[in-house]
Structure 1
Amino acid sequence: MTDTTSPSVESIRKALLGYRVLAWTTGIWLIALCYEMVMKYVYGVEGLNWIAVVHGWVYFIYLLFTANLAVKVRWPIAKTIGVLLAGTIPLVGIVVEQVQTKEIKDRFGL
């Protein structure tokens, strides 16, 4: 009898792809947000506030995709929270994505 509660390799592959795309997108928008903050507070340039809004929505979607992957690959809660928070520090989310992708690919033979 097969275990129908465990996700298929294909569903893990799709969840991993979504996570990877959103990790990179979040990282890029976070760098843009840092640029916006420097321009606003160092040089007094206004009008770039939309970058913060876009980054906020992209980060929210990143949270959803990461939680989806965490459930499918059964990460412990501490690891899940760590990966979720990695998207709040410039470039760390991208580095964590690389490490987690390698680990998941090795673990599930993707």
Structure 2
Amino acid sequence: MPDVTTTEIRDVQGARRALGWFKVMAILAGLAMFVLITEMVLKYGFDNAALSWWSPVHGLIFMVFVFTVANLGFKVGWSFGRMAAIVVGACVPLVAFWIERRVATEVEPRLAGSLSP
């Protein structure tokens, strides 16, 4: 298995765009999780359906996040297991924000050190 810190990134511009989308979607997915938790508390704790429309919206946001993980992962050479771990980790409240920072601090120096074609 190649070392993810030394694997050459072939499409640097594409990886930069993919990282940007990943960062946006990781933060959005993290925020959406808090709205989903609020919706669940209202629904099951107070029998209030004010945010009942949020569940499908959250699902859509999360699916776009999964796509951005795969897109970035293929561009920077992550294994399927690494991509799956990122997706599963984002299912835990607050972890999506930590994952976004960790991935950015790993990938940004690799992109800065790569030569654009």
Same fold (TM over 0.5): yes
Structure 2 gap ranges (5+): 1-8
Separation in structure 2 between the aligned mates of residue 30 and residue 45 of structure 1, nearest angstrom:
18
Equivalent residue letter for 1:91 = L
**3-state SS in 2 of match to 1:45:** coil
Aligned length: 105
Q: Structure 1 stretches (4+) deviating beyond 2 angstroms?
A: none
Equivalent residue letter for 2:99 = V
Q: What's the counterpart of residue 45 of structure 1?
A: 48
Q: Percent identity?
A: 29
TM-score w.r.t. length of structure 1:
0.89
Query: 1:12 pairs with 12, 15, 18, which one?
Result: 15
1:47 Cα deviation after fit: 3.3
Structure 1 gap ranges (5+): 1-5
Equivalent residue letter for 1:21 = V
1:44 Cα deviation after fit: 1.2
Task: Indicate the structure whose relative CO is greater, using CA pairs within 8 Å and at least 6 residues apart.
Answer: 2
TM-score w.r.t. length of structure 2:
0.84
